A and B are shown apart, each in its own frame.
Chain A
């Protein structure tokens, strides 16, 4: 397993602003993943963050809206830019444990956009 912390745990933001979410892991990992979970919905993979290279985004997600940084093997940030109420979701980071199907998730960041 891994110990993952996310900051902030929750935030309420105004539309048009940006929020940066931090994900810290207690061990070095090659890959980190960012997910979004909209209210009452399942999880959707936003992007895969690799240290030393650009993140790989899934269909429907673009770097201008969700820029990701991965400065080292234990840390990553996801920024939600120019927010609208539709961005209100829980944002989670995760890391693979023993295999890519077995992932350990952080506690999530609950974002509300007014």
Chain B
């Protein structure tokens, strides 16, 4: 069973900031939070990973509150090319085979 819950879909317009929240109430002490992006007919692509507080890279930011029971992926100024499915995963980065349980994901649709 997936250990995460996300909204099924979200809509946005070009240039807006999009925040996708993921719930993971039963996150374990050693679990990290990882987000993937998947375009149609392609494999998922790693976006960002974090353990607590805030992580930022060239693509997105990841906000994790102190209790770590949720996390928010923030995509600044989205474009049409950000239309994709976004998956939130939690797992122990050192436990091979147990980490990659994909939930249903969030389908983000960006319009002009």
Contacts and interface: CB of A to CB of B under 8 A. Distances in A.
Interface of A: 31, 33, 42-45, 48, 56, 92, 94, 96-97, 99-108, 110
A43 B102 contact: yes
Interface of B: 2, 32, 34, 41-46, 49, 87, 89, 91-97, 99-105
Contacts of B41: 108, 110
Interface of A is mostly: strand
B43 A107 contact: yes
B49 A45 contact: no
Contacts of A108: 41-43
B40 to A, nearest CB: 10
Given A42-B87, A100-B92, A103-B100, 10 more contacts: A42-B102, A92-B43, A99-B93, A100-B93, A100-B100, A101-B32, A102-B49, A105-B44, A108-B42, A110-B41
A92 B44 CA distance: 9
A102 B46 contact: yes
